Amino acid sequence: MKLEELLFNTYGFTSFRPGQREVISQILEGGDVIALLPTGMGKSMCYQLPAHRLPGSVLIVSPLLSLMQDQVAQLKKMGEKSVVAINSFVKQAEREKIWDNLASYRFIFISPEMLVQPFVKNQLQRIRISLLVADEAHCISQWGFDFRPDYLRIAEILPVLGNPQVLALTATATKKVTDEIMAYLKLKDPYVYTHPMDRKNIAYDIKRFEKPNDKIEWLKSFVQEFEGPGIIYAGTRKKSQEITELLLEMGLRAAYYHGGMEHQDRIFVQQQFQNGELEWVCSTNAFGMGVHIADIRHVIHFQLPTSIEGYVQEVGRAGRDGEPALATLLYASGDEMLMESLVMDELPNRHEIEVVAGNSQESKRLVEEGIVRETAYRVISYWLSQMTAEETVARIDMIRQEKIRQIDKMKKLVNLAGCIREYLVGCFDQEVRDKPVNCCVNDGLNYEVFEKKKQKYQKSELDNWQNRLNALLPLG
Amino acid sequence: MLFEELVISIMKAVNLERTVSSPFHLIKGKKSGQTIQDIGYYRLHPYFAVMPKLDKNAYDEVIQSLFARNLLRPNEQVIDLSEAALGMKIPPSKLNGWKYRGNEILFLNRLSLIVQTLSHTSQSVYSFDPVHNAVDLQAWVKEYLVRIDFRDPGIAGRFKKELHDSLGAANVAEENKMMLMQRLTGLRLSGLTWEQIAAGKGLHTLDVQLEVIETLHAWLEVLESGDFPLFSPLLNGVVQRSSLTESAERTDKLFKQGLSLDEIAAVRQLKTSTIEDHFVELAMNDPAFDYTVFIPQDLFRSITKISAQRNTKRLRDIKEMLPQASYFQIRLALAVKEDIS
Ligand SMILES: [Zn+2]
């Protein structure tokens, strides 16, 4: 059967999206693959379709719980029934059931920390895994903006599973990160698919201000002149709430979204955004993962992102429909200092490393008593399991140097005189071909396409519960 | 009932006898001996576990506001309500926390998945993002829907009618039913966040959350009549069969098998103080509980008499008057006394 035929028979789609065909055929030929595909480009199809041809199960290692839940939901929505997610939130009784039927699942999602547990390893060893998928594979990179020590341990599980084929998926990776993925997962001569990073329909803008408060004033006039839907990345929870309040006061349809909210409320905000009831969502970087909205016109960064990779990933949520979208980065003097101290504070310091190394028995107490921060502890204990304390200090120092390089790249971006597009794409070792007319602020921007069309939004007013019930269930 | 009214209702009952944080534990449904025992002493059953996720900071803000408005008088030790607070008229509430124990959320979660599914399928849309991702909840709803043959438009219509009639019969304000309805979603109809509902009403989010819980309790009471057959399965596991906590129930079983307090503690590998808590709970709930195993008749009478004369339920006050009684005996006597009076 041809791949197109398989695609149609399985999911009812008539054609592949860019990159999918190449990746899928390489997997079916038995090789390892690294695929750099932007989010929203149908990454998951790259393992979904092969799963229908391969003899065993597909094991997908997914670093974020929310992401995993979303992927499972999306797969089920596409009609896949044989899907299971194994993470620390699965209850014991449910787990028993999963182990009993493990071989029968076509798709097994698992979190990295579950993957390395001896019991789980034994269970996985019993069944046939045809393909291991490392999702968000850039998390493997110790230099990356999203390093997760647990992720490095995928390499340990491969021989246990009889060295299945590997598919490493990521939306953002420089050449350096790709090399690291290759080395850590011990991929032999993998096929590397790199989708062009450049999104022609996204135009780049940077606004520079003297004082942080000037950003608010700018935003006030911006939202009156221009039209959503848009995401405003606010940096902190508090800021996202403040901005939302401001927009609501102006009579705009806005809501905030952050990790501190009740799960159900977060779902409701997503629904509202998806149903076109909201024009602006103000968020911390939590927003976007499970959101599949094609017509986002604006991504506004109220604060400097901590890396180019993170920035590009967030900007990439705009204009999935191919229509013009605008990415606006707001910068006030001093922002880079704030960002720098934020990033540097996150790293384990020498003192923490030495304390953990000297008290390996009492590590739990160190975290509880606040002597060592939990995130720092996880990173330190990983490296200490691999090398001596002195080497760990040196290693963390190297990571610090790399972070400084990343920060410098961001600093360079906000002070850039040349083309922003060329600069961003260059950070991923790629080149811009066919620069679009509406490219970036430094090449001159035409804002007209983003102006308000003066369409009045009609909100259906349901004034009592019986009416709302009738709207929910319009029956008889 | 508004959140502040809830707090004041509890405070009125325990005024001058408990700390300002005790209502917090009660509202959250803390299963400690102290909290469980207070429920019996002070008749606080309606308010137990009505907001299991209540945030301490949010609660403290409300307390600060009570102090600021002189509804609470400064007192380092105990709740000290002012005359104004004591005189506050609080409308009767439909809350029934002791019975539902936070399980009303299970009912709501089932309902919201069912309504979302019926909303889509009855309009010929067969694929959507479910509002709940929990595997067990989804499995339950799927099984339920298949069992009632949900694709039959007649069934969907009947479900809607049962929903309409039973909620219509619930004895709470109509606007509170709307708040509950706003937490349900359907095709092209999003849910509203607590904050959005609150902003629309000019209320605090805690008020809206509590009103929805109260509406659920009132509604469940209607549904328990059994007159709404399609809704009956939704009550499974929501209505507490026994009013005891599970652990106390196990202690009760062993006690009835003839084991002593110490033996039960040994068998269950729990502290004797924990088992004592269970007996206090049993005494409160079982009118036939035989306290004489633990307290001689005359000591029992002395404890209840002092409590009544001095109008106090503070253990230390009673212990001072009756040093021969153990704290456990005092607690037990007070628990029993409430139920036979
Ligand atoms: Zn440019």
pLDDT at residue A93, as a whole number: 80
Q: Which among B105, B110, B111, B133 is the top mutation candidate for probing chain A, defined by the most A β-carbons within 10 Å of its own β-carbon?
A: B133
Number of folded domains in chain A? 2
CATH number at residue A34: 3.40.50.300
Q: How far is A261 from chain B (nearest CA, A)?
A: 10
Could you tell me the pLDDT band of residue A147, with boundaries at 50, 70 and 90? low
Cα of A439 from ligand 1 centre, angstroms: 4
**Do the chains contact at B128 and A77, CB–CB below 8 Å?**
yes
- Alpha-carbon distances of A144 from A169, A182, A309, rounded to whole Å: 14, 14, 8
Shared-domain flag, residues A138 and A174: yes
Q: How far is B108 from chain A (nearest CA, A)?
A: 12
**Do the chains contact at B186 and A85, CB–CB below 8 Å?**
no
Share of chain A above pLDDT 70, in %: 95
pLDDT in tens, A217-266: 999 999 999 988 999 999 889 999 999 999 999 999 999 999 889 889 99
User: What's the whole-number average pLDDT of chain A?
Assistant: 88
Does A369 reach chain B within 8 Å, measured CB to CB? no
pLDDT in tens, B262-317: 999 998 888 988 899 888 888 877 666 778 888 988 898 899 888 888 878 888 88
Could you tell me the pLDDT band of residue B340, with boundaries at 50, 70 and 90? very low
DSSP string, B301-315: HHHHHHHHHHT---H
Shared-domain flag, residues A177 and A318: no
Shared-domain flag, residues A127 and A218: no
**Enclosing domain of residue A349:** 201-229+293-456
Q: How far apart are CA A242 and CA B210, in angstroms?
A: 25
CA-based nearest residue in chain A for residue B132: A264
In terms of DSSP bridges, do strands A165-170 and A107-110 run parallel, antiparallel, or are they unpaired?
A: unpaired
Asked if residue A285 belongs to a domain, the reply is no
Asked if residue A251 belongs to a domain, the reply is no
More confident residue, B182 or A400: B182
Residues of B with CB under 8 A from a CB of A: 53, 115, 118-119, 122-123, 127-133, 135-136, 153, 156-157, 159-160, 163-164, 167, 174, 177-178, 180-186, 188-196, 199
Share of chain B above pLDDT 70, in %: 96
pLDDT at B80 exceeding the cut of 60: yes
Shared-domain flag, residues A352 and A390: yes
Shared-domain flag, residues A432 and A311: yes
DSSP string, A210-221: SSHHHHHHHHHH
Cα of A198 from ligand 1 centre, angstroms: 11
Does A468 reach chain B within 8 Å, measured CB to CB? yes
**Do the chains contact at B53 and A472, CB–CB below 8 Å?**
no
CATH number for B246-335: choose from 3.40.50, 1.10.3430, 1.10.3470, 1.10.10: 1.10.10
DSSP-derived 3-state class of residue B233: helix
* Assigned token pair, A459: 């909100």
Cα of A428 from ligand 1 centre, angstroms: 16
Q: How far apart are CA A350 and CA B266, in angstroms?
A: 49
Question: What is the phi/psi pair of residue A199, to 5°?
Answer: -105, 105
Asked if residue A322 belongs to a domain, the reply is yes
Shared-domain flag, residues A208 and A190: no
Segment 83-142 of chain A within 8 Å of chain B by CB: 85, 90-91, 94
- Residue in B177, B194, B195 closest to A465 by CB: B177
Q: Of A170, A194, A218, which residue sits at a domain end?
A: A194
Q: Which residue in A209, A167, A211, A181 sits closest to A31, CA to CA?
A: A167
Asked if residue A475 belongs to a domain, the reply is no
Amino acid in position B70 = N
* Assigned token pair, B327: 């704290």
CA-based nearest residue in chain B for residue A267: B131
Could you tell me the pLDDT band of residue B341, with boundaries at 50, 70 and 90? very low
Q: How far is A468 from chain B (nearest CA, A)?
A: 7
Asked if residue A273 belongs to a domain, the reply is no
Shared-domain flag, residues A158 and A98: yes
Ion ligand 1: protein residues whose beta carbon lies under 5 Å: A 419, 421, 439-440, 443
**Do the chains contact at B193 and A91, CB–CB below 8 Å?**
no
Cα of A282 from ligand 1 centre, angstroms: 27
DSSP run (H or E) holding A43 = none
DSSP string, B92-147: -----HHHHTTTHHHHHHHHHHHHHHHHHHTTT------S---HHHHHHHHHHHHH
- Residue in B122, B127, B194 closest to A475 by CB: B122
pLDDT in tens, A29-71: 999 999 998 776 788 999 999 999 999 999 999 887 778 888 8
DSSP H stretches of helix in A127-198:
149-152, 154-160, 175-184
User: What's the whole-number average pLDDT of chain B?
Assistant: 90
Shared-domain flag, residues A112 and A153: yes
pLDDT in tens, B36-65: 888 888 889 899 999 999 999 999 999 999
Other CB atoms within a 10 A radius of the CB of residue B292 amount to 9
Put the strands of the sheet holding A165-170 in their side by side order: A83-86, A107-110, A57-61, A129-134, A165-170, A33-36, A191-194
Does A245 reach chain B within 8 Å, measured CB to CB? no
Shared-domain flag, residues A186 and A304: no
Shared-domain flag, residues A176 and A100: yes
* Assigned token pair, A168: 């490493």
**Do the chains contact at A264 and B128, CB–CB below 8 Å?**
no
Q: How many CB pairs under 8 A join A and B?
A: 91
pLDDT at residue A201, as a whole number: 95
pLDDT in tens, A377-427: 877 887 887 788 888 888 888 888 888 888 999 999 999 999 999 999 999
Q: Which among A68, A107, A268, A274 is the top mutation candidate for probing chain B, defined by the most B β-carbons within 10 Å of its own β-carbon?
A: A268
Amino acid in position A359 = N
Average pLDDT over residues B243-268: 84
Average pLDDT over residues B236-260: 80
Shared-domain flag, residues A189 and A221: no
Asked whether the beta carbons of B329 and B304 are under 8 A apart, the reply is no
Shared-domain flag, residues A190 and A298: no
Average pLDDT over residues A356-383: 78
Contacts of A469 in chain B (CB under 8 A): 160, 163-164, 181
DSSP H stretches of helix in A304-419:
308-315, 335-346, 350-358, 363-368, 374-386, 389-414
Q: Which residue in B204, B200, B158 sits closest to B178, CA to CA?
A: B200
